[in-house]
Amino acid sequence: MARRLGDDLNEIRFQDNLSGTEILLYYRIPTTNERIAYTNESYQRKGRKLINRSVETRHKYGLKILKGFREGDFERKVDGKWKPMSSDSASENYYPEWKTHIEKYASDLVEHLAMRVFDLSVGVPEEDEEKGGQVSGVRCQENEEDLDPNV
């Protein structure tokens, strides 16, 4: 499937170790400006120190791109009973404050969403790694026998 560019919903699955279930989150592709801002905000210089702010940045931008979740993947307590929660306004289980609730109690998922979408959106196919570092027709110099010392 092709990468779909635009504001349409995409989905990402996580194995949630706290509930022992799979959670499906809906998100939108970040814009180029959001990607740049995310990278710039991940580290902050204070004098001669470089401060890692990746957790705060993942939290902030994960919330920006989060658009919902599969109904039933989260529950909240209502009148002493657990009730399914929905981010879909057409559902009878819709909870208007769903994003605030997710931010308060499931920030780990928000941060993992940002990490996967912003930091790990591209990888090397396994079959290419097994071929000694060749990726999409590009050869790594370390695998070449006649290395040019001027490169």
- Between helix 107-114 and helix 54-65 the angle, nearest 10°, is 90
pLDDT in tens, 58-116: 999 999 999 999 999 999 999 999 999 999 999 999 999 999 999 999 999 999 999 99
In the chain, domain spans: 10-123
Percentage of the chain with pLDDT > 70? 83
pLDDT score of 122: 84
Residue 133 tokens, joined = 């570092």
The reported pTM is: 0.77
Q: How confident is the model at residue 36 (pLDDT cuts 50, 70, 90)?
A: very high
Angle at 132 between CA 129 and CA 136, to 5 degrees: 60
Q: Exposed, middle or buried by CB within 10 Å (0-12, 13-18, 19+), for 2? A: exposed
